[in-house]
Structure 1
């Protein structure tokens, strides 16, 4: 497929999606299914006018998926509606740590004992498939910074954190395959890949995010009154945080998510006093005690909200391109009982069981746990971890096998979750309104 045809395909698809956006919102499926169907149609499974080789173009795909995940993590972070405290964040933290480890272990055992993969490859495959995706799961994640829905908040923050918490298991799998240093009794892995890389990522993210929030509010306030380019500031924060993290051996995905969270929460604290003063003054003048009775008073501008729309547009454009590529990698013989069986085991057994165990000590209602157990969407993050392993020396025969497992799992996730998300979420929200939970 020539560059001209590729531009034509993407352009026509974008025009069609843009012109029919109101119709697509009423469809019972997600747009990702449409992108996938087009990719399969023009790929080797269909017309065979386009074929993307993920092994040959692993370096390109690694960069593409890396950028997309970073943008998506930033968007997820700035949508967090509540300040960080362990009580409110307990459920997503447990999902991103305990449930993550259980998922990796179950997939590794299945791959090693039933599929005959080496133990290291099983652990690596578990780490690739365990994290939920912040890119393809937009229909079950927070829609805007003020979205306080508990289900959306939990799934969004879980996806934001587990893209970083999966990395230690990726390194463990590569270490068992002889591609990474684990140290005596795994001490190097525990100290550097688990403790240091995680703590440093969280620290870098919080410091940089809070620092940019303070600087932005300072420049916007008197006597400076500067106008800021929020889009550039958001992208710059992503680049600085991710670059610093990589330089010191920290997990950059985790750092970018916490930078976005710190940016948003710090801006809310810094502008909250000003907002309350304006609302109180206006309410007193109107003889009202309701501080929200004056929608004409605009809150102070913030970097987080100002850059969010641009990031979401980049995220959607990237989603189109990458899912087209996924569809263009599939052959008829890509499907087998081994790969389909692993995907079904992940959806039906691993995800529900890991969520059940991870949330044992939480106060999350059982109906909501059921929704969380099903909507563990796999997608672009899994592709990135796979390309990362390939670029760091994964043997070609093993790489081809893991490519097949990963692509089919992502494809099935797009299909089964894309078909079920809208009906299930609509039904869940109707039941929530009839029987609200405290």
Structure 2
């Protein structure tokens, strides 16, 4: 009964989102935010129609749902741009992954210790889980015609690729946090991290190459068309995730690497088709998860945190990422408006839920980890959902003077030509070959 109500509500919201898609894209809300609000309305806090297991009692289903959704989302990110375009962004993305991501984990852990008064282990768990930029929520500000018109292709590409890569690369941070909080030895955590990452890269590259070769052979013999190709990438993502689980490597990272390898060797038609997958995932498939999350929000536990919990959530959004990106503006070759935009729009969502529940499965943790983590996810969904459109419009006014005839970087399904990389001016520090 509960599942039927959940699916019915999500389907109704999807119909509204489909019918009013362009208008929704231009107002200060996002589809995940609408789903979260509907979940709160239908949940026990208001109408009591949805009766799902409480977050602190049973979250295995939430972990599984987040894992599957992330797999499809990171595959979509890996296929969103031509491979040569993605390869051309490796320097800023690598800097974000190697420097910004660890700093974000440390800053978030420090804020947790200061605001919530938790110990080192719990603070490390919170910091690691809330570090990755969520590819699902990030896609709401990097895809769609309004974003393509207002934002430079480089900014959208860097944010998308970072959000796809750091979901898997956050696992070593989580394992180190588990070692600090539980019985896992630090040496074992580092060895497990090494295998997780190295094994994921090898597995993803192999399956992506095989998948691309298979689809290329089918295309050469007229055995495939865009419909099966579109489904094939989803099946490939799930297969990679499954094999990764069987051999105990980082499945999310393996899927992302698989998508990049597939992108490099495939025909290119399926990448254009996958843009439609990305739109579907981030506008429709994500709705049941956020609707369910809204119905299980731990209101009583949030209330118990008091003002410290809200202070922590606000501090995380303001201090976790924006100052770090601003400090690295010159190494990242960003103009100030670009640094502000990329710094602010690093949302926390499905990936955080995935790692928070993963930590709960690995060891008994302080309930404050899940409570505080879920509060930050909810606040991020609301705040970034409300600021996405105004932020994009403000960016356009500040970074692109009135009367400029340059576009924002071209369609997502473009061929990687000049429109994909077009910048505001040739002299901009953000212009990078």
- Pairwise TM-score range, normalised by the shorter structure: 0.7 to 0.9
Question: In the alignment, which residue of structure 1 is the partner of 2:407?
Answer: none
Secondary structure at the counterpart of residue 49 of structure 1: coil
> 1: distance between equivalents of 2:278 and 2:333?
33
- Return the match for 1:394 from 364, 378, 382: 364
The verdict on how the C-alpha distance between 1:236 and 1:13 changes in structure 2, with shifts beyond 3 A counting, is: closer
Question: In the alignment, which residue of structure 2 is the partner of 1:204?
Answer: 203
> 1: distance between equivalents of 2:86 and 2:159?
17
Q: Deviations over 1:144-195 (max 9, x none)?
A: 9xx7701110110110111011111111111122243433xxxx333331x3
The verdict on how the C-alpha distance between 1:349 and 1:263 changes in structure 2, with shifts beyond 3 A counting, is: same
How far did 1:138 drift? Answer: 1.7
Question: In the alignment, which residue of structure 1 is the partner of 2:123?
Answer: 122
The verdict on how the C-alpha distance between 1:32 and 1:125 changes in structure 2, with shifts beyond 3 A counting, is: same
How far did 1:312 drift? Answer: 3.8
> 1: distance between equivalents of 2:222 and 2:285?
35
How far did 1:253 drift? Answer: 1.1
Question: In the alignment, which residue of structure 2 is the partner of 1:18?
Answer: 18
Question: In the alignment, which residue of structure 2 is the partner of 1:405?
Answer: 372
Question: In the alignment, which residue of structure 2 is the partner of 1:164?
Answer: 168
How far did 1:331 drift? Answer: 5.1
How far did 1:113 drift? Answer: 4.2
The verdict on how the C-alpha distance between 1:17 and 1:225 changes in structure 2, with shifts beyond 3 A counting, is: closer
Corresponding position: 1:150 with 2:147: no
> 2: distance between equivalents of 1:35 and 1:344?
22
In terms of Rg, which structure is larger?
1
Question: In the alignment, which residue of structure 2 is the partner of 1:40?
Answer: 40
Question: In the alignment, which residue of structure 1 is the partner of 2:308?
Answer: 338
The verdict on how the C-alpha distance between 1:141 and 1:15 changes in structure 2, with shifts beyond 3 A counting, is: closer
Corresponding position: 1:324 with 2:309: no
How many equivalent pairs are there? 395
Secondary structure at the counterpart of residue 91 of structure 2: helix
Secondary structure at the counterpart of residue 320 of structure 2: helix
- 1:183-332 equivalences under 5 Å are 183=187, 188-193=188-193, 195-221=194-220, 224-227=221-224, 229-267=228-266, 271=267, 302-310=269-277, 312-330=279-297, 332=299
Question: In the alignment, which residue of structure 2 is the partner of 1:288?
Answer: none
Question: In the alignment, which residue of structure 2 is the partner of 1:275?
Answer: none
> 1: distance between equivalents of 2:281 and 2:387?
25
How far did 1:433 drift? Answer: 4.1
Q: Deviations over 1:347-385 (max 9, x none)?
A: 111211332355553322222111111111010110111
The verdict on how the C-alpha distance between 1:310 and 1:402 changes in structure 2, with shifts beyond 3 A counting, is: same
The answer for unaligned runs of 5 or more in structure 2 is: 402-423
The verdict on how the C-alpha distance between 1:111 and 1:31 changes in structure 2, with shifts beyond 3 A counting, is: same
TM-score, with normalisation over the residues of structure 2? 0.83
Question: In the alignment, which residue of structure 1 is the partner of 2:349?
Answer: 379
The answer for unaligned runs of 5 or more in structure 1 is: 272-300
Corresponding position: 1:70 with 2:71: yes
Secondary structure at the counterpart of residue 255 of structure 1: helix
How far did 1:388 drift? Answer: 1.1
Corresponding position: 1:100 with 2:97: no
How far did 1:67 drift? Answer: 0.4
How far did 1:123 drift? Answer: 0.8
Question: Once superposed, what is the RMSD of the aligned Cα atoms?
Answer: 2.6
Secondary structure at the counterpart of residue 226 of structure 1: coil
TM-score, with normalisation over the residues of structure 1? 0.82
Query: Residues 94 and 359 of structure 1 are in contact (CA less than 8 Å); yes or no, is this contact kept in structure 2?
Result: no
Secondary structure at the counterpart of residue 362 of structure 1: coil
Query: Residues 213 and 303 of structure 1 are in contact (CA less than 8 Å); yes or no, is this contact kept in structure 2?
Result: no
Question: In the alignment, which residue of structure 2 is the partner of 1:61?
Answer: 62
> 2: distance between equivalents of 1:367 and 1:375?
12
The verdict on how the C-alpha distance between 1:431 and 1:126 changes in structure 2, with shifts beyond 3 A counting, is: same
Secondary structure at the counterpart of residue 24 of structure 2: helix
Secondary structure at the counterpart of residue 81 of structure 2: coil
Q: Deviations over 1:413-438 (max 9, x none)?
A: 11111111112212323544435333
Query: Residues 79 and 143 of structure 1 are in contact (CA less than 8 Å); yes or no, is this contact kept in structure 2?
Result: no
How far did 1:318 drift? Answer: 3.0
Question: In the alignment, which residue of structure 2 is the partner of 1:350?
Answer: 320
Question: In the alignment, which residue of structure 2 is the partner of 1:50?
Answer: 50
How far did 1:141 drift? Answer: 2.4
How far did 1:32 drift? Answer: 2.2
Corresponding position: 1:174 with 2:173: no
Question: In the alignment, which residue of structure 1 is the partner of 2:405?
Answer: none
> 2: distance between equivalents of 1:166 and 1:361?
22
